[in-house]
Structure 1
Amino acid sequence: MLCAPPTPTLPELLLRPWRDDDATALIAAYRDPVLRRWTRAPVTTIAEARRFLTAARRDWDDGHRFSFAVLEPSPTGETLVAQVILKNVTEGGEDAEVGYWTAAPARGRGVAPRALTAVTEWAFARLAGLRRLDLMHQIDNPASCRVAEKAGYPFQEVLPARPPFPRDGHRHARWAEPAQECPSRSGR
Structure 2
Amino acid sequence: MNDATVTLTAGTLLLRPWRRDDLPALLAAYDDPAMRRWLRTQVPDAGEGEHWLTVQEEGWASGTRLSFAATDTARDGELVGSVALNRPVPGVESAEAGYWTSAGARGRGVAPRALGALTDWAFTTFAAEGLRRLELIHQVDNEASCRVAEKSGYALAEILTALPPEFPLDGHRHIRHAPLPAP
Q: How does 1:37-186 map to 2 (within 5 A)?
A: 37-74=37-74, 77-127=76-126, 128-163=129-164, 164-181=166-183
SS at match of 1:28: helix
Q: With structure 1 as the length reference, what TM-score do the two structures score?
A: 0.90
SS at match of 2:179: coil
Distance 2:27 2:58 in 1: 20
Distance 1:63 1:23 in 2: 22
Structure 2 contact 63–87 (Cα < 8 Å) conserved: no
The total of aligned residue pairs comes to: 174
RMSD (Å), alpha carbons: 1.0
**AA partner of residue 92 (structure 2):** G
**AA partner of residue 111 (structure 1):** V
Q: With structure 2 as the length reference, what TM-score do the two structures score?
A: 0.92
Distance 1:40 1:129 in 2: 29
Cα deviation for residue 74 of structure 1 reads 4.7
In structure 2, runs of 5+ residues without a counterpart are 1-6
Distance 2:40 2:135 in 1: 19
Cα deviation for residue 138 of structure 1 reads 0.5
Cα deviation for residue 154 of structure 1 reads 1.0
Structure 1 counterpart of 2:4 = none
Distance 2:42 2:114 in 1: 21
In structure 1, runs of 5+ residues without a counterpart are 6-11, 182-188
How much identity, in percent, do the aligned residues show? Answer: 54
